[in-house]
Structure 1
Amino acid sequence: MSLYYDLVPTGIPGLDEALGGGLIRGRTYLISGETGTGKTLLSLSFLINGIYKYGEPGIYVSVDETYDQLMNGVRRFGWDLEALREQGYLEVLIPEMDIIEKIREKDPITIAKSLVYTIADYAKSLDAQRLVIDPIAPLVTLEKDVQVLREYIRALVMGIEREVGVTTIITTEIPTGARVISRYGVEEFLAAGVFVMGLAQTTEGDFKRYLFIRKMRWQAVQPTILEVEIQPKIGVVVKGPLKDVHIPFYALMM
């Protein structure tokens, strides 16, 4: 466990033990992975456990889903986010769905600052301690927009750490089979920690979900591959070290 930083427990069964106590308070962490690997459920587990186990309100920013799509999905999974909103423990923010057009047309730093100020206002009203942005940037983009989105992401992450001060999880989806650990090539450098989620094939031929702790800045945590399960009404559960499986090489590159 770190002797110099205030650690925030994720509340996710098995994960805090692997992290030596949790995440550094006020810093930003990245969850990366291909589609369907559990990024959203892991980030929501962080928020919901924070509320139920530690009394820490949170904010969820859904970039690629409408409010109804999100609520219908979590309701089928067994979570009642609307009740947490009514009780003042959670706020769900849905940026305008044409945000990519606004980033193209305006200064991306101006757009990022606007979102930071909005998040800061809600964080103050809720006394929020945790934040999730899922995903960090719109996924519908053209190749020529990558540099613009990098500027947007950098301004957003740095602005949140400076102006809001909550412990933040951002997610990013990587294209299937791509030899990268983030979509835009900047997220992992801004984050204090990086978790890569994926599917691994065992020697018997079946598949298991994994969470690769790839980077933990200023914490004595070794890179570790952990087996994870997704359980309705509970979320992500870390089962322990995962061995004798095939992990794509790109995910393990240090």
Structure 2
Amino acid sequence: MEKIPTGIEGLDLILMGGIVRGHAILVEGTPGAGKTTVGIQFIHEGVVRYGEAGLIISFEQFPAQLYRDAANFGWDLRALEAQNKVRVCCTSPEVLRDQLQKPDGLIDEWIQEMGARRILIDSISHLDTLSADPMERRVLAVSLLNALKQRGLTVLVTKEVTSEEGYGCSFEEYVVDAVIRVSNTADQETGRRQRHVEVLKSRGQDHISGRHYFRFGPEGIEVFPLQVVPTHQAVPGEAALLPTGVAGLDHLLDGGLRQASSLLLSGESGTGKTILGLQFLQEGASLGEKGLLFLYQETPEQVQQVAASFGWDLAHLEAEGLLTVVYAPFAELSLAEHLWVVRVQLQETGARRVVFDSLSAMLHEVSQQPHMAKERTDQLVRLTKGLGAAAIFIAEVPAGSSRISTYGVEETLVDSVVLLRSTRDGLRRKRGIEVFKARGANHVMGEHRMRITPSGIKVFYRPARGAERDDA
């Protein structure tokens, strides 16, 4: 069974490699959801990336309109027509039916002349003009699709629906091989509109279920699958130990943070979470290990100033290719898209260390949905592990709170939890650190003294014998 890519990377991942050659695919949705764009991208990418000529048959838009819409994404259909790789035709269902019934019709002429392998019909809803009888329309649809498939074409047809709710099952969904639904709905919490794509049916092939976020990018539709986690994941227990840059903390963690593991760094504002995260990345850079820093609240410039106060030059590390900083303000963040960005950054940079500052802000979109916060955190943890990175997730907790994490679910998903505290002692404040959890490690329990010094964080511990030390 041969599969052909649609040319939409995320959609091809959802479809486990693409669609079966020679199948008929239905793309349905309300007006403006992106049906026609999916179809044109299928044809355009088929030509440009896979060398497969294609036909575009429209029952309502003139070629000039399709040229204009395609040009918005940088797709030059006119040029491809001039190269005899694409044909754009505006006609009626009656004419198309008649041409397919002729052995030497125009469709057959184009197929032979171009070697066409793909076709877009926009849209099959116009078959309604041929008959008011549902059964007769079903027969017409089956005969149309079969005629195209018999000519060696992989067929993509669009269909309009009138409402996002209660689509039901139309006869078109039964007669095609796969059904893809696109939607553009308003979020009940924020009021912002979000686009989703869902594969409802894929005869003869597997797919990733669920509603996946997509958007219109500068070069076409971009789909962000829910399951971005690699199938082969590293096992933390078998990984090397990475020094955190804080010798005393390494001692508490039984040698450091394991490669391909996750650590939740939790504390109130001002307890040193960002500093410790930066120190972890700085230590990695000194060892030649690449790092990633995701920022959701403070800007890169603000964090550079913090780092500079300890003698750490983040701009230099970036210039040397040892650090990549990604700034994604939480108020503008789409979690589904951002998980994809995290995956791409980890794969492209090959980073061994990654810090998320903060996980609390990153999950803002689902802050009122604890189950979604848990699901997204789980995806993120498995993603970083699967790509072999040691990850520190910074969590913010309210002042005076006994909570371990922001949403009460994060600590159950990570390998280790480190708590930072700041308590008043007369006119001064005392800082403390505790390894609350360290899966698979013989960690030192209890709270230990911590200081923020001009060279970074120091953690003090008392060995079995002797005075308190920090091993700096």
**TM-score under structure 2 length normalisation:** 0.44
RMSD: 2.8
Match of 2:107 in 1: 119
Shift in CA distance, 116/180, structure 1 to aligned 2, threshold 3 Å: farther
* Separation in 2, partners of 1:200, 1:139: 27
Shift in CA distance, 201/158, structure 1 to aligned 2, threshold 3 Å: same
Greater mean alpha carbon deviation, residues 115-124 or residues 126-135: 115-124
Opposite residue 115 of structure 2, the aligned amino acid is D
Unmatched segments (≥5 aa) in structure 1: 245-254
Shift in CA distance, 46/116, structure 1 to aligned 2, threshold 3 Å: farther
Shift in CA distance, 109/63, structure 1 to aligned 2, threshold 3 Å: closer
Counterpart selection for 1:208 from 182, 191, 194? 194
**Conserved? CA contact 1:56–1:129, under 8 Å:** yes
CA deviations on 1:26-82 (whole Å, 9 max, x unpaired) are 111000011110000011111111111111111111111122332233334532211
**Conserved? CA contact 1:33–1:181, under 8 Å:** no
Shift in CA distance, 150/22, structure 1 to aligned 2, threshold 3 Å: same
* Separation in 2, partners of 1:229, 1:201: 14
Secondary structure (helix, strand or coil) at the match of 1:199 reads strand
* Separation in 2, partners of 1:54, 1:34: 30
**Conserved? CA contact 1:39–1:171, under 8 Å:** yes
The alpha-carbon deviation at position 224 of structure 1 amounts to 2.3
CA deviations on 1:81-119 (whole Å, 9 max, x unpaired) are 1100001110112214xx5xx58xxxx975763599432
Match of 2:120 in 1: 132
Aligned: 1:179 with 2:175: no
* Separation in 1, partners of 2:114, 2:185: 39
Shift in CA distance, 109/169, structure 1 to aligned 2, threshold 3 Å: closer
Counterpart selection for 1:223 from 199, 209, 212? 209
Match of 1:190 in 2: 175
Which structure has more relative contact order (CA 8 Å, sep 6+)? It is 1
Counterpart selection for 2:19 from 23, 41, 48? 23
* Separation in 2, partners of 1:27, 1:171: 14
Match of 1:149 in 2: 137
Greater mean alpha carbon deviation, residues 57-66 or residues 194-203: 194-203
Secondary structure (helix, strand or coil) at the match of 1:84 reads helix
* Aligned length in residues: 228
Secondary structure (helix, strand or coil) at the match of 2:179 reads strand
Match of 1:236 in 2: 221
State which structure, 1 or 2, has the greater radius of gyration over its C-alpha atoms: 2
- Identity among equivalent positions (%) equals 28
**Conserved? CA contact 2:21–2:154, under 8 Å:** yes
Aligned: 1:51 with 2:37: no
**Conserved? CA contact 2:164–2:185, under 8 Å:** no
* Separation in 2, partners of 1:55, 1:217: 25
* Separation in 2, partners of 1:176, 1:134: 19
**Conserved? CA contact 1:181–1:196, under 8 Å:** no
Unmatched segments (≥5 aa) in structure 2: 227-335, 337-364, 367-472
* Separation in 2, partners of 1:142, 1:128: 27
Which stretches of structure 1, 4 residues or more, deviate above 6 A after TM superposition?
none
Match of 1:61 in 2: 57
Opposite residue 207 of structure 2, the aligned amino acid is V
* Separation in 1, partners of 2:62, 2:20: 31
Shift in CA distance, 137/120, structure 1 to aligned 2, threshold 3 Å: farther
Shift in CA distance, 190/88, structure 1 to aligned 2, threshold 3 Å: same
Match of 1:39 in 2: 35
Opposite residue 160 of structure 2, the aligned amino acid is E
Secondary structure (helix, strand or coil) at the match of 2:55 reads strand
Secondary structure (helix, strand or coil) at the match of 1:138 reads helix
Opposite residue 175 of structure 1, the aligned amino acid is T
